[in-house]
Structure 1
């Protein structure tokens, strides 16, 4: 009896393996949709479209970008989480995947079970910047200014609970300073507030922030990555500026609905990794401040887990709340 049972289990396993292999060989059978849970024009949208062009050629089916903004990325993530798990609907995920579970009391999906990682595409380091009116040329001078005039400084963010908000909260925690938070409805209004001198400090991604630093309209005091940015090598890291434990790096990656066949996930992983090796694409993206990654689904899953714990501590200590 046991032998018959074992043979049945083995037969089912072989059948599933054959089905999975067949799915991977025939995949994709129709256009692939990459859902970007943010408005067009941002770094996520630009990277998704650049990769979509490469995959359209390599996979033999159109790869289209579908922007579904709303609720800090939750609307787009929920749409993908509830889509057919066949590999034709993908989520262009970012750091919000790691932040939102701590920020919201309840999400319409369970991040750890509803979405499956494909690969980490890129890290998105940022700049800690100040306006021309702010009398600080280094991070240490900004810390000294904040300590000498408590509550006199404020900083902008793209909204409560966003990465730029929590990155400054982490800075405040490690520096032992108090700077008032002024949330705006998006990264562009926050950046405009800094340019106008309405706020003194902002954490902004390299893609949009570096152009104002290079033109002299804003001053970058530090880079939030672990090593200096090749495009702004004169800007020290936060560790070099005196906060040795500070690293705050956003990220972008690809996820699918859970239940997507393993062979299909593997095919997607191979194709996206291959696209990231294209010299022209790499040059275009790295010149904008992105640090390209790649890797396996397991490596991406581990990174999401670590990042979720990192931001959980910041959300709890800062008392950050979603808008």
Structure 2
């Protein structure tokens, strides 16, 4: 099944009527830029490149992924917020988008005021990992090791403010242990730290870790979703292990600068839904550890409204000082 303009119009039947729809039909007339506020190789970058390929086929225009890492994701997000609201610069970001306004004094953007949500793209549980060489085979082993480790147990995460970072903070609070958090610029680099045995344990979103769990390089100690992951049925959830309320996900969302015309927002939403509905693409993403989502502008807006206060409360309870 190929993503085409006809398919997009069929998914949103009212799109082809009225002046706003006519303006959307004329869009795009040139290349589209997708800003990813992280280094290449992580789950958000993977999702953006899948989206770019689908958009390119649907719109008949080049779609370029621009990785603008740094500042815990703030540099790329702020650049997208300042872009012209014409649909030619979009943001593909992750949960750090809703975390950083509480973690940084001045992240450079407001997640509600500065952006128009288009749609959620995917969401994955985080996974608590141990290297094969660590001798850690369960969350109970991890907690026991951390309790006797002088100074705390080194733990790799994909960056300050990421949900894996905050998941480790939540585990510290729940289990009464201490980690030395080792942040990296992306999930891919955190995985490399584990592969090199630089750190014995880590927490990442599932997609970059799943191939190494299958190969035996990593042990998956627990998943932080509400249910077990279908491709890893042997890995328990933190809820099953006796940690009530211990659920965290890393999501990917597509947003435009505030003020982007609603007709263009709806056109982009329809295109994104068509990309994710294409059977081969959907199968590959699910196999890679992505749970595919949708919900359009309203669904993503609701998620942002829920998660900003959730992570703000966890940051407060963990005593994490604001940066910058």
TM interval, short-chain normalised: 0.7 to 0.9
Decide whether the 8 Å contact of 2:69 with 2:185 is kept in 1. no
Alpha-carbon separation, structure 1, partners of 2:185 and 2:56: 34
Which stretch has the larger CA shift, 177-186 or 229-238? 177-186
Unpaired runs of 5+ residues, structure 2, are: 1-16
- The answer for the alignment partner of 1:182 in structure 2 is 182
Alpha-carbon separation, structure 1, partners of 2:39 and 2:156: 20
Unpaired runs of 5+ residues, structure 1, are: 1-16
1:86-165 aligned within 5 A: 86-147=86-147, 151-165=151-165
Decide whether the 8 Å contact of 2:38 with 2:186 is kept in 1. no
Against the structure 1 CA distance between its residues 165 and 279, is the aligned structure 2 distance closer, same or farther, given a 3 Å change threshold?
same
Alpha-carbon separation, structure 2, partners of 1:279 and 1:86: 30
Against the structure 1 CA distance between its residues 41 and 133, is the aligned structure 2 distance closer, same or farther, given a 3 Å change threshold?
closer
C-alpha displacement of 1:196: 4.4
Decide whether the 8 Å contact of 1:161 with 1:320 is kept in 2. no
Decide whether the 8 Å contact of 2:42 with 2:186 is kept in 1. no
Decide whether the 8 Å contact of 1:150 with 1:179 is kept in 2. no
Alpha-carbon separation, structure 2, partners of 1:277 and 1:93: 20
Question: Equivalent residue of 1:143, what SS?
Answer: helix
C-alpha displacement of 1:136: 3.5
C-alpha displacement of 1:152: 4.7
Question: Equivalent residue of 1:219, what SS?
Answer: strand
Decide whether the 8 Å contact of 1:146 with 1:178 is kept in 2. yes
Decide whether the 8 Å contact of 1:150 with 1:178 is kept in 2. no
Deviations 1:105-139 (A, max 9, x none): 01222221111100000002221012334443222
C-alpha displacement of 1:217: 2.1
Decide whether the 8 Å contact of 1:81 with 1:115 is kept in 2. yes
- The answer for the alignment partner of 1:31 in structure 2 is 31
Decide whether the 8 Å contact of 1:138 with 1:241 is kept in 2. no
Question: Equivalent residue of 2:311, what SS?
Answer: helix
Alpha-carbon separation, structure 2, partners of 1:180 and 1:77: 27
RMSD: 2.2
1:258-277 aligned within 5 A: 258-277=258-277
Q: TM-score, length-normalised on structure 1?
A: 0.87
Question: Equivalent residue of 1:202, what SS?
Answer: strand
Higher Rg of the two aligned structures: 1
Alpha-carbon separation, structure 1, partners of 2:65 and 2:190: 26
Alpha-carbon separation, structure 2, partners of 1:159 and 1:201: 15
Decide whether the 8 Å contact of 1:33 with 1:64 is kept in 2. yes
Q: TM-score, length-normalised on structure 2?
A: 0.87
- The answer for the alignment partner of 1:7 in structure 2 is none
- The answer for the alignment partner of 2:280 in structure 1 is 280
Alpha-carbon separation, structure 1, partners of 2:132 and 2:97: 34
C-alpha displacement of 1:280: 0.3
Question: Equivalent residue of 2:112, what SS?
Answer: helix
Against the structure 1 CA distance between its residues 69 and 154, is the aligned structure 2 distance closer, same or farther, given a 3 Å change threshold?
closer
Question: Equivalent residue of 2:132, what SS?
Answer: coil
C-alpha displacement of 1:317: 1.8
Deviations 1:64-106 (A, max 9, x none): 2222222122122112111111112110121111111001101
1:81 aligns with 2:47: no
Deviations 1:269-300 (A, max 9, x none): 11111111000000111111010001120111
- The answer for the alignment partner of 1:47 in structure 2 is 47
Which stretch has the larger CA shift, 156-165 or 270-279? 156-165
- The answer for the alignment partner of 2:14 in structure 1 is none
Alpha-carbon separation, structure 2, partners of 1:268 and 1:198: 42
